[in-house]
Amino acid sequence: MWSVLRELLEQFLLLGLFLGILYCFFTSTFNFWERRGVPFRKPTVVFGNYAPMLLFRKSLPEGTQEMYEWFKDERFFGVFRVRTPVLILRDPDLIKNICVKNFACFSNRGIPVNSQDPLSAHLFNLEGKKWKSLRAKLTPAFSSGKLKRMFYLLVECSEEFQKLIDRSSEAHRPIEIRELAAKFTIDVIGTCAFGIQINALTEEDSEFHRAAKRLSRPSYKATLWRMLRTAMPRLYKVLGVQVIDPGVTKFFKNVVSQMVKQREEHGVKRHDFMDLLIELKNKGTLENDAGNGQVNHEEDAETAEEMELDENSIAAQAFVFFAAGYETSSNTIAFCLHELALNAEIQEKTRRDIHDAIENRNGKLTYDAVQDMKYLDMIIAETLRKYPPASLLSRRCEYQYQIPGTKVELPTGMRVIIPIYGLHHDPDYYPNPATFDPERFTDESKRTRHPYTYLPFGEGPRNCIGMRFALLQIKMGIISFLRNHQVEICDRTITPIKFSTRSLVITSEKGFWLRIVQPS
C-alpha cells in the first residue's frame, strides 16, 4: 500500500517539476519590457498576448487593431508572441526609420526557411546578400516598359472574363464575387507568369485552380505554424515543418521544369514573367528599360554571385508570384465591388471614369487608357486602405538599435511589428475609418497626411516588388466587371464583413455575395 502511494507521490512530484520547468520556460522572458521601461500588456502563459489569434477566436486584422488601440498615447509598446518579446510601432516617423532611414538594421523579415519547404525560399523570405542580389535582378521585370509589353496578355484574359461575367449576369442569382475574381487572377497570373492558358475561367477543375484552392484554404496546423514560425524558428527548422502543401510544391516544380525545358528547346518568347526568369537563369541579369532608374548596377555587380537561379529558385519565385498575386488581388477586387455595391453613386462615378478614359483612346482599352482612370485609382487606394491585404509588416533587428529620442535599446534578433490595419483605421489619420470614402485619396488630401500611415504594399527597399503588376491586374478586373455591368447587394450580402480567422491575408469568412446586372 505504502509503495503504491510512494510511487504515486513520486509521479506527482515529477509532473509538478515538469510543469514548473515548463512554466518557468514560458514566463522567463515576461519581464523583458518592464526592465526597459516600455509600456506592455500583461501576457498569459503559453500564448503571450496572442491567445485570440492563436486559438482562432479573432482574425488577424481584428487582433492587430485591438493591440494597436491598447496604448493610444504611446509611440510604441511591447507584446509577447508566445514567450517572445515583440515591439509594435504606432508612430509613422519611427516606421519611416525602420523601413528607410535605418533599413540596414531592419533589412530582413526574419522568416525561417526549411529545406523541406523549397518553395518558401522566395524573394519575400530571403535575407541578406541573397535577397539583395535577387531583388536587384528582378526589379527590371516589373518596370512600366515590361508591363506595357505584357499588357496584351491581360487584355486577352479580360475579354474572356467579360464573357463569364455576361453569363453570370444572365443567371439572375447571387454570385460569389471573390470566386469569380479568383478565376480571372488565376488566368492572368498563369498567362503572365507561366505562359500557360489555364482556362480557369471555363474549367473549374484545372490543376492551377485546385492548387489555388489548397493555398487559400490552408489547414489549421499550417496556419498556426505560419504564425508561430517567427516566434519559434529553431523548433520550426528542427521539426522540418512544411507550411506549403506538399502536393502544391510538387505541382509547381513540375510546371516550372516543363516550362523551362520547352522554352529553352524551342526558343519560345512570350514577354511574360517566365521569359524573364529564364533570361535571369541564363544571363544573370535583365535588360533594364530606359528611365526605370530603380537598379543600382554597382550594387548588383557586387552581389551578382550571391544568388544563382536554378530551376528550384525559379519555381520559388514563380510560386510567390502566383500565391501572393492570386489571392490578394482577387480579394481586393471583391472588397472593392462589395463597397461599390453599397455605394451606388461612387460606383456610377467609377463607371463614368472607365468609359471616359476608353472613349478618349478611340474606344480601345489600352495601357495608357488604364493609367488615365484617376478616379479608379482613388477607389482602389481606399479599398486597400480599408482592407489592406496584410494586417501587419514584420522586421528583425540585425544589430543593437536605440530607438530615436529614447534610451530604449533593442537587442539583435528583436522583431518589430508595423500594424498596417491599425494605422489604416486610426481616426487621427482617417476620420470615420469605417466609411468608404475615395476622396481621402485626392492629391490634396494625400498631402495632408503622413505618408507612412498608408502601407498596403509596405515601404522602402523591401516594399512589394510586384506592386505595379498587382494594381494593373486589380484595375483590369474591376474594369471587366463595370465596363458593361453594375453590381448590387442581395439578400446573401453580408454587412459588415466578418473576416476569416484562418487566413493570414485579409478576406471574408463567408464570401462576397452580390448580383451582377445590366446598367439601368
pLDDT band at 504 (very low <50, low <70, confident <90, very high): confident
pLDDT band at 221 (very low <50, low <70, confident <90, very high): low
pLDDT band at 298 (very low <50, low <70, confident <90, very high): very low
Name the one residue in this structure whose C-alpha cell is 479573432: 58
The pTM of this model reads 0.88
Compute φ and ψ for 87, nearest 5 degrees: -100, 130
Residue 301's pLDDT is 46
Q: Are 486 and 347 in contact (CB under 8 A)?
A: yes
pLDDT band at 304 (very low <50, low <70, confident <90, very high): very low
pLDDT band at 204 (very low <50, low <70, confident <90, very high): low
pLDDT band at 488 (very low <50, low <70, confident <90, very high): very high
pLDDT beyond 50 at 303: no
pLDDT beyond 50 at 299: no
Residue 326's pLDDT is 82
3-state secondary structure of 220: helix
pLDDT beyond 50 at 182: yes
β partners of residue 488: 515
pLDDT > 90: percent of the chain = 44
**Residue/partner pairs of 458-464 with CB below 8 Å, 24 or more apart:** 458/99, 458/393, 459/95, 459/96, 459/99, 459/100, 460/99, 460/100, 460/103, 461/100, 461/103, 461/107, 461/135, 462/99, 462/103, 462/107, 462/109, 462/395, 463/99
Residue 225's pLDDT is 58
CA-to-CA dists, residue 203 to 215, 253, 354, 464, angstroms: 18, 22, 29, 31
Of residues 219 and 479, the one with the higher pLDDT is 479
Do the bridges between strand 401-402 and strand 393-396 make them parallel or antiparallel, or are there none, so unpaired?
unpaired
**Comparing 10-14, 84-88, 304-308, 398-402, which segment has the lowest mean pLDDT?**
304-308
pLDDT beyond 60 at 513: yes
Q: Where are the alpha helices (DSSP H) in 268-372?
A: 273-283, 297-303, 311-342, 344-359, 367-371
Largest Cα span, the chain: 98
Round the average pLDDT of the chain to a whole number and report it. Answer: 83
Burial of residue 40, with CB atoms counted within 10 A of its CB: 0-12 exposed, 13-18 middle, 19 or more buried: buried
pLDDT band at 189 (very low <50, low <70, confident <90, very high): confident
Residue 206's pLDDT is 67
pLDDT band at 309 (very low <50, low <70, confident <90, very high): low
Quote the CA–CA distance of 474 and 331 in Å, as a whole number.
Answer: 9
Of residues 327 and 113, the one with the higher pLDDT is 327
3-state secondary structure of 486: strand
